[in-house]
């Protein structure tokens, strides 16, 4: 089903210029667009070499906003972006430090045209520091914060996809920082630069762990702590059919229900928080969970206060009754994907459409931001806009 509801959303009226990138910046812009912001994406006029499809309905983080192709090496293309900036609340820069300055689109260039502009910069290492010019990816940013060291079995750290640093520490912190700065700019009349580093966002997400370390309640050994799979009551178990279930019965009252459903008598067991007994208890639980299939355990445990859920694949998640009841996943242009989130009671978000072909709305996108048909034709004649082969 489509989630395009045609309503404005809580960010209706917010105008954002997005310079094309991959990973966290597009996800942030998809979030803003779902919430009603008017986001215009500036894609390259020539093949980008980004290693991603140039078009396609499956490139879902590009959903919900028009794609305008502009040649940023053409002075008239740069001037086109600066004109968009004049009418924008924010610009999102996903490039390495210094790149937009060399293009003539750096913070000073843009703030000179719009003093209220919020200039959001999205990088892994931040705008300064010894590593600021080095390439990197999610795994590297997590490695530098201590987070990666804590994830995985005892033998080796494990990459937790790219959802922690890129999307959590990056996209979400960019969205919060940008909206906070826009709010301030509407009060002060002055814009500013928001420097978002995925390293710092990732470390912030792990703030609670740093507190546990300070309290001497966290071991640097992986799979040795309550939250990293070391505890028998907070980990995943394989079932009879080769699938897995997740158990997170931390609180004593939830642990008591777990034991009851497993047919175990607490009087015959060590104390829940006896760390020395965790490995043996994990082995005992593992044997029990292998006695039934995943569906059978769901019948016994799902919906109780055990803190239980089956471990679903991406393909399975949209069909789970809870997710289906909340429309947590939607179908747009034949592609199943997460729906708009979070939910708002009065100004609901909505997906405005799937990802467009790159540069497909150059004319319409610029027209919606105040360019006349003659101006658009003149820019095309100068090869400043539109896809170039």
149 annotated active-site:
no
Query: Which residue in the block uniquely carries the two structure tokens 């729906």?
Result: 339
CB atoms within 10 A of CB 314: 8
Name the active-site residue from 3, 38, 59, 166. 166
Q: Give the C-alpha separation, 158 to 227, whole Å.
A: 15
Q: Give the C-alpha separation, 256 to 204, whole Å.
A: 33
* SS3 assignment, position 289: helix
337 contacts 318 by C-beta, under 8 angstroms? no
Q: Give the C-alpha separation, 196 to 174, whole Å.
A: 6
Q: Looking at the chain, which runs of residues are DSSP E strands?
A: 15-19, 38-44, 67-70, 90-93, 118-123, 192-197, 234-238, 244-248, 308-310, 329-332, 335-338
* SS3 assignment, position 78: helix
Name the active-site residue from 109, 137, 320, 333. 137
In sequence order, what are the residues at sequence separation of 6 or more whose Cβ sits closer than 8 angstroms to the Cβ of residue 18? 25, 26, 29, 39, 40, 41, 42, 65, 91, 92
43 annotated active-site:
no
Look at residues 232, 216, 237 and name the one whose alpha carbon lies nearest to residue 275: 232
Cite the active site residues.
137, 166
């Amino acid at each position: 089903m489509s989630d395009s509801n045609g309503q404005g959303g809580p960010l209706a009226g917010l105008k954002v210029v997005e310079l094309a990138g991959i990973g966290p910046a597009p996800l942030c812009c998809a979030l803003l667009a779902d919430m009603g912001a008017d986001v215009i994406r500036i894609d390259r006029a020539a093949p980008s070499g980004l290693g991603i499809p140039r078009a396609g309905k499956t490139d879902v983080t590009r959903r919900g906003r028009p794609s305008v192709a502009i040649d940023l090496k053409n002075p008239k293309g740069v001037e086109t972006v600066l004109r968009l900036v004049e009418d924008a609340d924010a610009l999102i820069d996903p490039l390495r430090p210094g790149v937009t300055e060399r293009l003539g689109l750096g913070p000073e260039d843009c703030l000179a045209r719009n003093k209220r502009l919020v200039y959001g910069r999205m990088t892994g290492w931040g705008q300064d520091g010894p590593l600021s010019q080095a390439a990197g990816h999610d795994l590297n940013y997590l490695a530098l914060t201590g987070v990666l060291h804590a994830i995985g079995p005892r033998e080796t750290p494990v990459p937790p996809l790219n959802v922690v640093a890129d999307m959590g520490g990056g996209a979400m912190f960019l969205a919060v920082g940008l909206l906070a700065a826009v709010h301030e700019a509407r009060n002060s009349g002055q814009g500013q630069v928001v420097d978002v580093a995925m390293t710092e966002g990732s470390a912030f997400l792990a703030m609670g762990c740093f507190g546990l370390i300070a309290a001497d309640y966290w071991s640097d050994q992986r799979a040795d702590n309550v939250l990293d799979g070391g505890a028998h009551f907070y980990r995943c178990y394989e079932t009879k059919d080769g699938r897995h279930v997740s158990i997170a019965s931390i609180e004593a009252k939830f642990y008591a229900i777990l034991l009851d459903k497993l047919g175990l008598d607490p009087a015959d067991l060590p104390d829940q928080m006896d760390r020395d007994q965790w490995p043996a208890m994990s082995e005992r639980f593992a044997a029990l969970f292998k006695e039934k299939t995943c569906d059978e355990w769901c019948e016994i445990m799902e919906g109780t206060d055990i803190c239980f859920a089956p471990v679903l694949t991406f393909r399975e998640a949209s069909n789970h009754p809870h997710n289906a009841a909340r429309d947590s996943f939607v179908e747009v242009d034949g592609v199943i994907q997460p729906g708009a989130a979070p939910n708002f009671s009065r100004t609901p978000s909505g997906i405005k459409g799937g990802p467009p072909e790159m540069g497909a709305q150059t004319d319409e996108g610029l027209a919606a931001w105040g360019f006349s048909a003659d101006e658009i034709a003149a820019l095309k004649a100068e090869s400043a806009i539109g896809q170039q082969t």
